[in-house]
Amino acid sequence: GAGVSQSPSNKVTEKGKDVELRCDPISGHTALYWYRQSLGQGLEFLIYFQGNSAPDKSGLPSDRFSAERTGGSVSTLTIQRTQQEDSAVYLCASSLAAPRGTQYFGPGTRLTVL
């Protein structure tokens, strides 16, 4: 079956612009996670969705970051007023509900803020 897909694969933007990153999870996966991978910080958790609700947003680095999930499926991560330190690869993962929660990752979106 289809895996997790993310779009765009690459995004170059200017400092101060807003960006939206999209994640399509594996069909039937109720849990969805966003992570960020950067050279300085490694792989970091950002936010967790169960269905359409986000009970854990503790990893979002600032209030410029937000995410939503609709229909228990597609999720969008929005970064407002992008800064150069936001440059990273943003990874999405989905899983079945715990305790069967092995996370399968998408290919990521590489964000470059100029």
Partner 1 sequence: AQKVTQAQTEISVVEKEDVTLDCVYETRDTTYYLFWYKQPPSGELVFLIRRNSFDEQNEISGRYSWNFQKSTSSFNFTITASQVVDSAVYFCALSEANFGNEKLTFGTGTRLTIIP
Residue that the structure tokens 């359409």 belong to: 52
> What is the end-to-end Cα distance of the chain in Å, rounded?
37
Cβ proximity to partner 1: between 81 and 97 the closer is 97
Residues that bind partner 1 (CB under 8 A): 31, 33, 35, 42-43, 45, 48, 50, 55-56, 59, 89, 91, 93, 95, 97-99, 101-108
CA 71 to CA 84: how far, in whole Å?
Answer: 32
Contacts of 109 (CB under 8 A, 6+ apart): 6, 7, 8, 9, 10, 11, 21, 89, 90
Distance CA 27, CA 74 (A): 10
Q: Compare residues 72 and 101 and give the one whose CB is closer to partner 1.
A: 101
CB of 77 to partner 1, least distance (A): 15
Q: Give least dist CB 109 to partner 1, A.
A: 11
Please, what is the minimum distance in Å from the beta carbon of residue 90 to partner 1?
Answer: 12
User: In this complex, which beta carbon is closest to partner 1, that of residue 2 or of residue 98?
Assistant: 98
